[in-house]
Chain A
Amino acid sequence: MIVNRKYYFVWILPILLALTSCEDVIDINLDEGTPQLAVDAFITNEMKTQTISLSITSPYFENSASPRATGATVKLIDGFTAQEYLFTDVTNNGLYNWTPSISEQLTVGNIYTLSITYDGEQYQAQSILNPTPPIDSISVLYRDAEPPNYPETGYYASLYAFDIAGRPDFYWIKTYLNGQFNNSPGSILISQDGAFEGDASDGLLFIPPIRESITPFGTVYNEGDSLKVEIMSLNFNTYAFLGIAQSQLSNAGLFAEPPVNVPTNIFNVDTTSEVLAIGWFNMGAVSADGITIQP
């Protein structure tokens, strides 16, 4: 179970009061790794330009953008219609784009294959395109600071949506503040059936911790902010992938799970090849809603 940070905070508090836990940045020498092709392919069925980013992994403490992987052939194939969509890197910076035409709407329920040829190796990945529920509404409430759950005074937003009943669903809830995707480390907000792990909340309204988590913990919205929320559908494997990434990117303190590598669903077609790629491919449907914060 992924414990919501707010509740987590309360659990750990007594210990903080009694004793003093502390965190500090330290120097560590890490082993040298092998550079690998890293695939970042979160494709949606929205009728707008879709991008797949290919890069080469660099040493963990290399504090600059990773080198780009250019010159690859990138294709998306519909497993039902066998139709192929070609992604091209026109600016030669490892960003491979495809803009669907009116007749090229991707279909919920179909399985898609991603095919990448790079540096003499061919890689493939598969993902089903799952449905996503509509957003009912976003509500906003002004409240005074009430630690620990509401440490700041300001506007708190809540997301109202119903989980799709009768099936396990996996969602990635993304927020955009004034057009800017909130990718602050550790803020990956994923949900099964509008709740935490397990199919407990099948068909229910997204539960309060999920509902309220579109206001990232420790922040508030201000008057005039424009807030956009997306619910992107995932498949189970993507949910697990993001769950592991989430625990890698945030520290749960005393009860942290020891870090493990994120998995990959990008496989070399030649299973005997020693050249392996990493990264993730997911097909998602997106529902979105937005508001401007006003009293």
Chain B
Amino acid sequence: MNFRNNIFEVTNDVSGLRKTFLISFFAFFSVLFAFSQQKYSISGYIKDVETGETLIGATVYIKELQTGTAANVYGFYSLTVPEGSYTLVYTFIGFDEVTKQIELTEDIKINLEMQESSSTLDEVVISSEGDRPNVKNVEMSVSKLDIKTIEKIPALLGEVDVIRSIQLLPGVSTVGEGSSGFNVRGGAIDQNLILLDEAPVYNSSHLFGFFSVFNPDAVSNVKLIKGGIPSTYGGRLSSILDVRMKEGNSKKFAGEGGVGVIFSRLALEGPIIKNKASFIVAARRSYIDILAKPFLKGDLKDSKFYFYDLTAKVNATLNDNNRLFLSGYFGRDVFGADFGFNWGNSTVTLRWNHVFNKKLFFNATAFYSNYDYRLEVGDDTEGFNWKSRIINYSIKPEFTWYANPNNTVKFGGQSLLYNFVPGTASFSSGGVSNDISLPDKYALESSVYVSNEQKVGALITLQYGVRQSFYQYLGESVIYEFNDPEPGMRKMVTNIDSFEQWETINTYNNFEPRFSVKYQLNEVSSIKASYNRMAQYIHLISNTTASTPLDVWTPSTNNIKPQIADQVALGYFRNFGENDDYETSVETYHKWLQNQIDYIDGASLLLNPFLEGDLLNAKGRAYGVEFYVKKNTGKLNGWISYTLARTERKVDGINQGNWYANRFDKLHNFNIVGNYDFSKYVTFSASFVFSTGTPATFPTNRIELQGYIIPHNSEYKRNNYRIPPYHRLDLSVTLYRKKENPKNESNWVFSLYNTYGRRNPFSIYFQQNEDNPQVTEAVRYSILGTVVVAATYNFKF
């Protein structure tokens, strides 16, 4: 069959590039071995003395050599330097600096526990030369939010939320309230790899996007990578949202929680064996259904609408060289009255950290991830039931080799088995049932990667790597070949073929080079540039404005090619002020996207065995500039971000084959977040967002047909208008009740969301006037038309 001959087509066009890259790659590697002389390693873990939590990204700096490193996501660090006597400086934001004098005459292990600064943030002096990571690190287009920052942002209904917080960062946008997911640098929402302890989460929202699945009480660290994505990550085009869960207090039992308008939370953590093993369990449940019950009548009396989630983790330090982690997330949204509708994610991650030797750190991760939804109406006599799910099984070994202070090499691989269940469904009417299930689909995505972070002299740092991904679309399956009709029309089946279980139907390979460079201009400023190629083998099928829980994921098949993106980015980073009071950056990017999915007009997306016949292959491009100013110190702190960006598509059969604005395109995106620490007891916070309205297709003419007046655009333009701009001001005040033991503090958060009650349009639609159908009108539809007032009580013990 012809498509089997196309196996390597995606690879071929980059094979020249690959050769060049590989040669230079091995040239760089030879540097690693060039100067072997007597050197010793300093290695260990960096933790919080109070809780035993890993301090991800804490830095170690050797004063004499002016070199250093940062702890990895498991808190491990390693530095190999010539023998000598050194001053080691350990720093981490919000923690007291630790200085150690050492005589390095052999490999040594320093497991360090750091003390959180007793002073409030505004008094923290960040002066260590090892710090200033935004300027000094090679990584660019990266935003890190610690949970303390997230907690200060005024939140919808007083509930701290990870995803709503990252939407305030440059380059990140959303189509509006109530929409699941987020868009990064002009990418679609399915192009974000959302990882919770390394397991992918397919639907990151509760309650149709008003809240995210991450329980802030269980989150330790959030990192969003928008560009210059290292080769350790792959599988999505536009961003990586890496959420790491807390490990649980290994020193003593502790808890925290909150009571809010919509839901309540409780998290418990503590040692299982002191300093050796600990756990954390965090749960949330909404209760609007319980509150609303007395007001519901008739059919609605049995209404169910709630969500819950449970996040749990245990970890055990077996010995100095071995640690085990087991973490899981289980969440569900349930809606129902005389029907049932529910959806949810579950993930389980098992990890094993092993220190082979002072220079070689190993982590193996195995995970299971499941997203499913069910829709049930009626019963077996009269009704409809439908279940759909996507299941992942994966293993992922990774080595980190701390070769010398100038080179840190990571290499590893991943194998990911997908099982797509697009629909197990049956339809009953008059006592007769029809099974309309679609067959499962299987795919295997594997990859190997290597990357090196290399310091070249004092000024230049490079990070370069490659990722080679291999994808197989596997049986058992019935596959279709389609004809090639006029662009924009439904394709018809021309041939049907079937494949046995685990038989390879189709293969795609992609060579994905990654490269970043930093050039230090002076102590406080640097220039960074990066390039990455990303391949994505799975696709979210959705043609609604906001994504719905019913959207279906599909693998790449003989008809659907993997999505590919190339991105270049250039940035200037500079800090101001004596204590690095201000962090600023300007970044510009350009992204080219291939094989984007679009839909014919009137496409049938759900439970359609011939879905592929309704899909179009689009090209995309996105480009923009991001400005960011962050004030770290003082009573007044916060950030301002402004993004000027475009994201466009081009596809035969839509907009007469011309480029048109993507449905989530926003030219201007402005955010300001400010906190004012009035006193030890009171903090005021405000955030303001402004963004251009999303594009929409508006009619020019009216067609009179069968007594209806149908809107029509006679110029066949797609997205020729903008809905009015979105802007919103949120305010909150936090009142702290300090206790003698700061671990017992509690606070009240009072918040106003959409303070001035702006009716931000979600969409504009056109209709005939109900009273006089001859009159037509434009209607603004707003998800939220008023201010939302809320109070939340948070406590710790």
Contacts and interface: CB of A to CB of B under 8 A. Distances in A.
A80 interface: no
Contacts of A116: none
Contact of A28 (B378, B604, B698): B698
Given A204-B429, A249-B710, A251-B765, A64 B696 contact: no
A40 B784 contact: no
A124 to B, nearest CB: 16
A33 B706 contact: no
B377 A7 contact: yes
Nearest to A202: B434
Contacts of B338: 10, 149
A78 interface: no
Nearest to B262: A18
B3 interface: no
Given A17-B292, A251-B763, A251-B767, A258 B382 contact: no
B781 A34 contact: no
B766 to A, nearest CB: 7
Interface string B760-795: 001111111010011111111111111010000000
A262 B602 CA distance: 9
Contacts of B716: 261
B604 A26 contact: no
A148 B302 CA distance: 12
B763 A21 contact: no
A197 interface: yes
A257 B711 CA distance: 15
A258 B383 CA distance: 29
Interface string A251-267: 10111111111110000
Contacts of A63: 774-776
B703 A57 contact: yes
Interface string A195-224: 101111111111111000000000000000
Of A36, A64, A200, the most chain B CB neighbours within 10 A belong to: A200
B432 A204 contact: yes
Interface in A139-161: 145-150
Contact of B604 (A65, A185, A198): A198
Given A23-B779, A207-B382, A251-B779, A57 B601 contact: no
Contact of B712 (A61, A148, A209, A278): A278
A230 B377 CA distance: 27
A15 interface: yes
A42 interface: yes
Contact of B602 (A30, A57, A240): A240
Contacts of B288: 14, 17-18
A13 B775 CA distance: 29
A30 B432 contact: no
Contact of B702 (A57, A183, A280): A57
Given A25-B778, A256-B765, A11 B341 contact: yes
B436 interface: yes
Contact of A254 (B178, B427, B718): B178
B781 A23 contact: yes
B704 interface: yes
B122 interface: no
Interface string A26-68: 1110111111101010100000000001010111111111100
B667 to A, nearest CB: 18
Contacts of B303: 10, 13-14
Interface string B681-702: 0000000000000001111111
B710 A21 contact: no
Nearest to B767: A185
Question: Secondary structure of the A side of the interface?
Answer: loop
Contact of B698 (A30, A38, A181, A279): A30
Contact of B382 (A1, A40, A208): A208
Of B430, B604, B774, the most chain A CB neighbours within 10 A belong to: B430
Interface string B592-620: 00000000011010111000000000000
A131 interface: no
A248 interface: yes
A82 interface: no
Interface stretch (B131-139, B193-201, B519-527, B543-551): B543-551
Contact of A22 (B300, B707, B711, B782): B782
Contact of B701 (A58, A250, A257): A58
Contacts of B298: 145-148, 150
Interface in B297-334: 297-300, 303, 305
Contacts of B460: none
A278 B703 contact: yes
Contact of A42 (B706, B720, B775): B706
A249 B767 contact: yes
Given A25-B779, A279-B703, A257 B543 contact: yes
B475 to A, nearest CB: 24
Of A25, A194, A208, A254, the most chain B CB neighbours within 10 A belong to: A254
B384 interface: yes
B708 A64 contact: no
B700 A31 contact: yes
B561 interface: no
B714 interface: yes
A20 interface: yes
A259 B720 contact: no
Given A204-B427, A254-B208, A1 B607 contact: yes
A186 interface: yes
A245 B698 CA distance: 14
A107 to B, nearest CB: 24
Nearest to A197: B604
A23 B785 CA distance: 9
Contacts of B425: 200
Given A31-B720, A33-B713, A201-B427, A38 B704 contact: yes
Given A26-B780, A42-B706, A254-B546, A147 B299 contact: yes
A40 B709 CA distance: 12
A58 B712 CA distance: 10
Interface in B397-438: 425-430, 432, 434, 436
A232 B759 CA distance: 42
Interface string B498-534: 0000000000000000000000000000000000000
Contact of B436 (A33, A42, A200): A200
B480 interface: no
A1 B427 CA distance: 14
B374 to A, nearest CB: 14
A226 to B, nearest CB: 19
A244 B488 CA distance: 15
Given A259-B711, A261-B713, A263-B602, A147 B703 contact: no
Nearest to A182: B707
Contacts of A33: 699-701, 712-715
Interface of B: 178-179, 207-208, 210, 262, 288-289, 292, 297-300, 303, 305, 335, 337-339, 341, 377-378, 382-384, 425-430, 432, 434, 436, 543-546, 548, 601-602, 604, 606-608, 663, 696-716, 718-721, 759, 762-768, 770, 773-786, 788
Given A13-B300, A58-B701, A146-B298, 19 more contacts: A10-B300, A10-B338, A18-B262, A27-B778, A28-B698, A28-B764, A31-B698, A33-B701, A57-B701, A57-B712, A59-B700, A185-B768, A195-B429, A198-B607, A200-B384, A204-B432, A248-B710, A257-B545, A262-B712
20 contacts: A14-B288, A17-B292, A20-B785, A21-B785, A36-B701, A59-B701, A60-B701, A147-B297, A148-B299, A185-B768, A197-B606, A200-B436, A204-B427, A207-B429, A245-B710, A251-B763, A254-B783, A258-B543, A260-B601, A263-B601
Interface of A: 1, 7, 10-11, 13-15, 17-28, 30-36, 38, 40, 42, 53, 55, 57-66, 145-150, 181, 183-186, 188, 194-195, 197-209, 240-241, 243-245, 248-251, 253-263, 278-280
Query: 6 tightest CB-CB pairs across the interface, nearest first?
Result: A33-B700, A205-B430, A183-B707, A22-B785, A33-B714, A200-B427
